[in-house]
Structure 1
Amino acid sequence: MVKYASLAKACFITSLSLISSASLASEKSIAELVDAVNGTLDDASREAGKQVKLRNHAKGFCTSGNFIPAPELQQHLDIPFLNQGPIKVTARFSLGGTNANLSDKTPGRFMSLKIDGEKESLNFVTTNVPIFFASNLEDFYSFQTKIKEGPQGKQWLLDNKPDAKRFLDYVAQLPPSPSFASSRYFGVNSFYFRQQSSDKTAEPIAGKWIFEPLAGTAALSKDELAKMDDNFLKAELLSRIETQPAQWALYIQLAEQGDIINDPTVSWPDSRTRLLAGKLVIDGKRDSVPEVSQCGDGIFNPVLLPKGITPSADPILNARTPAYTESFIRRR
């Protein structure tokens, strides 16, 4: 666990050092992975992408709230950061892909969070799909390039990549939600959590994040969806929180012996123990401050972690920060 502990302190600047090490895990460089996401596989399109500040999750908006840790978590896990009062939150809700005009009628929903205490922070990058489409960087590159080829590329993935097929099949049956507030959000990557013990010798335990909406989940029927316009999600959430906040319970789903830790294409059984970590409250009360209103210009660093939480060896997780940093640099 020692070699991962240093990653827990990673911030925007130090994440640059991860680029070379993450690249070694794949024949593809971090720059090539960003090109695959952006669809900029040649010099001309890459330069054009820089001019328009091309990015993933292009359609989205920022808002704010707070996180209220659950005191009972400390009975099980030793995470001092989650043993305090309400902590300010910056949130970005978005859709996937580089199309800033993507219709809200598509099923994907994403929630990224910065929970910033006085001395430590905890960032989240979550999605409403509990499994990822690739377990390694080569398959990630293949997925991103093939999916942009249209029906032929998608069919190739269905025929040749079981992880991508499982993901695409799940998304195909996922009905769009009427609100960001009525979606569950999953952290598909695993982390290690320090367990409570009197002598501090207990082995860390692997876990994944799950956000459960306190108002319950909801889905639009085909008839309801047909009546919606292509841009309903932002207005709905901002209108909702004017009268009452959107809220989620945050759980840590714990792995058991035999569970696969470093593969985000694998979900664990629902029977696994879940510990309540706290409550996320999105109320928009800090939306006017620059750190919130301009949050879309920065990155959400999933390995910026407080003491007691460290990254797993998941190659997708450990490529996220250098890839986000590469994308950030191109948008400057």
Structure 2
Amino acid sequence: MQPFHVKLSLFTTACLMVGSMFAAPIANAAERTIAELVDAVNGTPDAASREAGKKVKLRNHTKGFCTSGYFAPNPKLHDSLNIPFFNQNPIKVTARFSLGGTNPKLSDKTPGRFMSLKIDGDKENLNFVTTNVPIFFASNLDDFFTFQTKVKQGAEGKQWLIDNKPDAKAFFNYLTQQPPSPSFANSRYFGVNSFLFTDKQNNSIAGKWIFEPVAGTAALSASELANLGDDFLKAELLQRINTQPAQWDLYIQLAEQGDEINNPTVLWPENRQRILVGKVVIDGKRDSDPQVQQCDKSIFNPLLLPKGIAASDDPILNARTAAYVESFIRRQ
């Protein structure tokens, strides 16, 4: 149980982080407030459902668990980029693996996989929020709201999105071609939003995060799925790291002239140049640390960035922190 004074401190910090954002509309999307976006994700469109959601601490990515490891930067990274954060080694990692949605009993047989990371250095921090689907379903907050509202309506709402929202249709098409993986360790993870990275000449270059599994990707066949229960992913990963770590190589995929930087629904070509940033190693050795045990009670803030990395103008990216904090406060 988290001590009251720690909870109060977290609550106060969260409030200061967001300020008046909860009541005010986000720029470029004046028709939607952060509170409305969180309601759309949670399926709480009115006061009664919102209060009911608070009582059960409703949140996205409800089904998930925390573990730990470290990050080993590529020693040659400084030949390409000027990001002092990566000059230390190793850097401790707190990880949360999850499924999407607010259903705590969602089957692991569904294709979605998510990995969030806190990489905590000596003086700076870097957080990641990633998914195994490289494209997002909305390019702006109004379409995000519409998507989340319609999917809560079931098959009819999904069909409406397919018929009326090309970005949502592309997202669903990708999902239908994505078989479930047997392990979180066998999934690629993508940061769908772009960031700006400082190169050695102190110029800004746009790029996206990509995590490639060292163990390789794998997919479950129909017969393998039939022999599995609905809750195999957590046990599989924790058992796996008892004998050998789960590992991912982290890359930055660089944009080229003409690539859309601020639209997360656009998939850049696979042949774009990549820079190896380093390796994520999940070994569970810090799982007894309070920070790891309490990671479900915190947020993973993708805008918590070290010197040399800045946010792009992607409206989806720039709404994330305020939405995560709003959701966090509702769960207190």
Residue of 114, 125, 128 corresponding to 1:110: 114
Paired with 2:93 and 2:118, the residues of 1 have a C-alpha distance of 6
Letter in 2 for 1:292: V
One-letter code of the match for 1:16? V
Q: Secondary structure at the match of 1:212?
A: strand
The equivalent residue for 2:57 is 53
The CA deviation string for residues 45-78 of structure 1, in whole angstroms up to 9 with x for no partner, is 0000000000000000000000000011110100
Partner of residue 265, structure 1 = 265
Superposed CA RMSD in Å reads 1.2
User: Could you tell me whether the CA contact under 8 Å between 1:109 and 1:183 is conserved in 2?
Assistant: yes
- Give 1:25 deviation, angstroms: 2.4
Work out the number of aligned pairs and report it. Answer: 318
Partner of 1:83: 87
Do the aligned residues in 1 keep the contact of 2:69 with 2:280 (CA within 8 Å)?
Answer: yes
Deviations 1:202-237 (A, max 9, x none): x20000000000010000001101111000000000
Matches within 5 A, 1:208-287: 208-287=208-287
In structure 2, list runs of 5 or more residues that go unmatched: 1-12
| Distance (Å, rounded) in 2 between the aligned partners of 1:328 and 1:118 | 26
Query: 1:19: how far off?
Result: 2.3
Partner in structure 2 of residue 15 of structure 1: 17
Post-superposition shift, 1:18?
7.5
1-structure distance, mates of 2:103, 2:191: 23
Shift in Å, 1:306 = 0.3
TM-score, structure 2 as length reference: 0.94
How far 1:15 sits from its partner (Å)?
Answer: 3.3
Distance 2:16 2:45 in 1: 27
Higher mean alpha-carbon deviation, 23-32 vs 116-125, is at: 23-32
Verify the 8 A CA contact 1:133 1:163 in the aligned structure 2: yes
Identity %: 71
How far apart are residue 22 of structure 1 and its match?
5.8
- The secondary structure found in structure 2 opposite 1:231 is coil
The equivalent residue for 1:6 is: none
Q: Does 1:167 align with 2:166?
A: no
Q: Name the structure 1 match of 2:186.
A: 182
In the alignment, the residues of structure 2 paired with residue 80 and residue 260 of structure 1 have an alpha-carbon distance, to the nearest angstrom, of 27
Work out the CA distance in 2 between the residues paired with 1:259 and 1:221. 35
Unpaired runs of 5+ in structure 1? 1-10
CA distance change for structure 1 residues 16 and 298 in 2, over 3 Å: closer, same or farther?
same
How much has 1:12 moved relative to structure 2?
Answer: 4.7
Asked if structure 2 preserves the Cα contact closer than 8 Å seen for 1:22 and 1:319, the reply is no
Match of 2:94, SS?
strand
Runs of 4+ that moved beyond 3 A: 11-15
C-alpha contact (below 8 Å) 2:91/2:121 kept by paired residues: yes
CA distance in 1, matches of 2:268, 2:14: 31
Contact 2:88 2:121 in 1 (8 A): no
Do the aligned partners of 1:22 and 1:318 also contact (CA within 8 Å) in 2?
no
Report the Cα distance in structure 2 between the residues aligned to 1:107 and 1:114, rounded to whole angstroms.
24
CA deviation digits over 1:94-124, x for unaligned, max 9?
0000001100000000000000011000000
Q: Retained in 1: the 8 A contact 2:132–2:187? A: yes
Query: Contact (CA 8 Å) 1:12, 1:301: kept in 2 or not?
Result: no
Question: Is the contact made by 1:131 and 1:266 (CA closer than 8 Å) also made in structure 2?
Answer: yes
The code of the aligned residue for 1:330 comes to R
Specify the alignment match of 1:136 in structure 2. 140
Q: Does 1:100 align with 2:98?
A: no
- Correspondence list, 1:317-332, <5 A: 317-332=317-332
Going from structure 1 to structure 2, the CA distance change for 1:85 and 1:65 (only over 3 Å counts) comes to: same
Indicate conservation of the 8 Å contact 1:18/1:322, yes or no.
Answer: no
Which residue pairs with 2:34 in the alignment?
30
Match of residue 5 from structure 2: none
Which structure has more relative contact order (CA 8 Å, sep 6+)? It is 1
CA distance in 2, matches of 1:254, 1:264: 14
